[in-house]
Chain A
Amino acid sequence: MIPELAQLALSLALMLALLTGGFGLWQVTRPEPPLVYLARGMAGSSVLVFSLILASFGALVASFVLSDFSVLNVAENSNILLPLPYKIAASWGSHEGSLLLWTLMLSGWTAAVALFSSRLAPGFRIRVLGVLLILQFAFVGFLLTSSNPFGRLLPAAVSGRDLNPLLQDPIMVSHPPLLYMGYVGFAVSFAFAVAALLEGRLDPTWARWSRPWANAAWSFLTVGILLGSWWAYTVLGWGGWWFWDPVENASLLPWLAGTALIHSLAVTDKRDALKSWTVLLAMVTFALSLLGTFLVRSGVLTSVHAFAADPKRGILILALLVLVIGFSFVLYAARTGKVGLGGQFSWRSRESLLLINNVLMVSALAAVMLGTLYPLVIEVLTGNKMSVGPPYFNAVFAPLLLPAVWLMAIAPYSQWKSMPLGEAMRAMLWPLLGAMLVTGLTIWRWGKPSLLLVLGLAAAVTLAYATVAQARQQLAKLRRHGGSVLLSDRARQLGMSYWGMIVAHVGIAVFVAGVTLVKTYEVERDLVMAPGQTESLGEWRLTFIGVDSVPGPNYQAGHGVFELTRGSGREITLIEPEKRQFTAGGQVITQAAIEAGFFGDVYVSLGEPVAADRASSRPSEQAWSVRMYLKPFINWIWWGCALMAIGGIMTLFDKRYKRLRARPVVAEPAR
């Protein structure tokens, strides 16, 4: 009963979205439309559509929680023995379920825009919501026609097939929802851009309104990607955290475009410049989100992440892509001419720096896109199959992005329109010295000098130092000009937007430092250990105690126990990697044991029991293959990303948005 009601809710949402979205977009072009009422109506409709989709999503989750195996999706992706949190997560473990999640996010963002946009000029508001509602219509339509999660399985299965064991992990539970929040969030800035073009003008309104939405989406995407990387590290069993896999790249592309977008929006907002470029970026970012959706679900590329390939689905998504993006690019070509050049700036200005940032981001984006799609292009053109793997991406990506990190160090010192270059350069002196010192010390202490280490670490230190120094400089300046004695007052005066930038930039420094150090200094040992044996790596010593067989909720585990000691210290930590065999499907996964620390991780994973051709092969003497890693500073990678996201969220709380809401609505001037 419930699945059928859910489908009904979706069908209602479909019609409502089409009717209200279409009606609004049509009416707003007619003479003397009742703008305020239309806008309110569409806002209400957005919330209603969201409620309907939420209800149907709730129904799917309920089916999983109740283990209703008469629903095909539940039977294919869940199991009686599955722990509750994973039953819930299994709702989005399949293509259909995750697409419903995608659609839910889209309607959620739309409802949020509806609720927060009451101060937005109504004509513009109608167009923004109209675009978002039409998008929802397209997605719900796609869902209902080709990817319905509520199909029945009759007679019902007795027990389900089980969720892929690799997905039965707390990180995997949160990774898709947050990732989708990011992907879908860029639909909002897309809608703002399209609405502005539809209206035929690009005044700073749309940039100012777009900024918090773009920043929020970007922050969520950052967290989503970070969780995916961290999950791979903890569960895949061999210490890698980024593989340049096509689906990973698919999430990186909108992230790179999104980074360019949030900076470009800053320029357009503050200086009314780069307008048509920013509009294009907003469209491209969402286009890349959609492209990512296509790549993951169509089976066009091989990837460990890809859902079961279905070319029919692929055609539909491609059609969706063509309609949405094709339309927006046509609109761009047709309408951008009216926009005008905007504010002028010198080549030594903040605008200029941000523009160069954009160029670098777009080049990096092009590199990733090229590498991901090149094999497909070659196959289409010549029929040959070739491979593009991590070495390409590593070789091309870092040189493109490191200059951006260096430029970021100067960025806070830069000024709008025109700035004295000498002053900014002088400000770099101490940071550079600091960077050389730290890099030199690192090489002296730990060796392994390399171009990567020098450039990467120096960039990170310079960035961190320069950013923090600039913040201190600003606070001091305020004090000098009669500002409050209290640090907190002066800090508040600088605004959350400023502090968000500082935190995010420091986050990038932390991230770059982590990546550079881990890549340079990580070490690994492949071992065969018998119980009682001790091996060492660096200053760590690992003693193998043994492997026990231990039952889990839906698996049987080989539970390994090791003792880990550091240096000559006597503190012993127990490290317990596992090898789990899942009851339902027989799949075996490795659960690595990680001793995490601020300065790095010790990472131990169990391999296989080694065939004993020795005299005695009692279980207590069974030797195992073991892999042991030292990963210095690896957690800085994820902490850096977390800081970036926090910085992004911080900008949402800037005073200017509160002040805007306090002002009364101003009637829209004649065009």
Chain B
Amino acid sequence: MMRWVRLGLPLLIFALLVIVLARGLEFDPRHLPSARQGKPAPSFEVPTLASDQLFSAKSMLGKVWVINVFASWCTACVIEHPKLLQLARRPDFNLIGLAYKDDPSATAQWLKDHGNPYRQVALDIGGQVGIDYGVYGVPETYVINAQGVIAYRHVGPIDDAFFDQHVAPLLNAHP
């Protein structure tokens, strides 16, 4: 009996290894899960594009809102922008743009060229807010629920399922 265990051991270890590797093939090694997901959204207060007033994350407490991290130098942002413009027409979709490491005048120009879906455009010129949220690329989108907790982070351009899967449920819970 022991002999069969000993003889079969290499095969067993190999089989386990293959299973791990096969599953591993499905993953994208560059994808990073969000460390802040499920945790309170870090508060921040930064200048905005439109007015002299500062934007504070605290002001959104009690509402379901979405931060879209973008920049004028980001090519992928152009891909998702039409979807954002469309979603922005919904009155319950509180979309706040975070201009990440961007020059305000470049941001303004880009929004003029491509359209502005954002309720407000927060300026994160130094990237500090990005670091706080764990941003590692653009575009990224954070969905924050009414309790101020980050419900979901999407990396890359948003897809069509984004709103229905991740925002709508929260809105239904908290109209």
B8 / chain A contacts, CB cutoff of 8 Å: 333
* A284, CB-defined interface residue at 8 Å: yes
Residues of B in contact with A, size category:
20 to 34
| Interface of chain A residues 291 through 312 with chain B (CB within 8 A) | 291, 294, 298-302, 309, 311
Q: For A384, give its contact among B15, B17, B33 (CB under 8 Å).
A: B33
Given contacts A337-B7, A373-B20, A384-B33, contact A314 B25 (CB under 8 A): yes
Contact assessment for A329 and B14 in the assembled complex, using a CB-CB cutoff below 8 Å = yes
Asked, given contacts A300-B21, A333-B8, whether A309 binds B29 with beta carbons under 8 Å apart, the answer is yes
Interface contacts beyond A294-B21, A318-B25: sample of 7 additional A-B pairs, CB < 8 Å, sorted by A: A300-B27, A311-B26, A318-B22, A321-B18, A332-B11, A337-B3, A337-B7
Q: How large is the interface on A (under 10, 10 to 19, 20 to 34, 35 or more residues)?
A: 20 to 34
Q: Are B10 and A302 in contact (CB under 8 A)?
A: no
> Does A315 lie within 8 Å of B25, measured CB to CB?
yes
Roughly how many angstroms separate A141 CA and B32 CA in the complex, as a whole number? Answer: 36
- How many angstroms between the C-alpha atoms of A201 and B52 in the bound complex? 87
Minimum distance in angstroms from A238 CB to a CB of chain B: 23
- A385 and B32 CA atoms in complex are apart in Å by 7
Asked if A379 and B24 make an inter-chain contact with CB atoms under 8 angstroms apart, the answer reads yes
Q: Chain A contacts of B14 at CB under 8 A? A: 287, 325-326, 329
Interface contact B25-A302, CB-CB below 8 Å: no
User: Cβ of A322 < 8 Å from any Cβ of B?
Assistant: yes
CB-based nearest B residue for A380: B23
Residue of A with least CB distance to B3:
A337
With a cutoff of 8 Å between Cβ atoms, the chain B residues found around residue A333 in the complex are 4, 7-8, 10-11
Chain B residues with Cβ below 8 Å from A384 are 33
Complex: A298 Cα to B32 Cα, angstroms: 19
**A482 at the B interface (CB under 8 A):** no
> Would you give the shortest CB distance from A45 to chain B, in whole angstroms?
31
Distance in angstroms between the alpha carbons of A326 and B14 in the assembled complex: 8
Q: How many A-B residue pairs have CB under 8 A?
A: 65
- Flag if B11 contacts A376 (CB, 8 Å): no
A contact set with B: CB distance below 8 Å = 280, 283-284, 287, 291, 294, 298-302, 309, 311, 314-315, 318, 321-322, 325-326, 329-330, 332-333, 336-337, 373, 376-377, 379-380, 383-385
Check if B10 sits within 8 Å of A280, measured CB to CB.
yes
What is the bound-complex CA distance between A287 and B11, given in angstroms?
Answer: 12
Query: What residues of A have a CB within 8 angstroms of the CB of B7 in the complex?
Result: 332-333, 336-337
- Residue of B whose beta carbon sits closest to that of A295: B21
Interface residue B90 (Cβ < 8 Å from any Cβ of A): no
15 A-B pairs (CB sep. < 8 Å): A284-B10, A300-B24, A302-B29, A309-B29, A311-B25, A315-B25, A322-B18, A326-B14, A330-B11, A332-B7, A332-B11, A333-B10, A380-B24, A383-B33, A385-B33
Most chain A CB within a 10 A radius of its CB, from B4, B14, B23, B33? B14
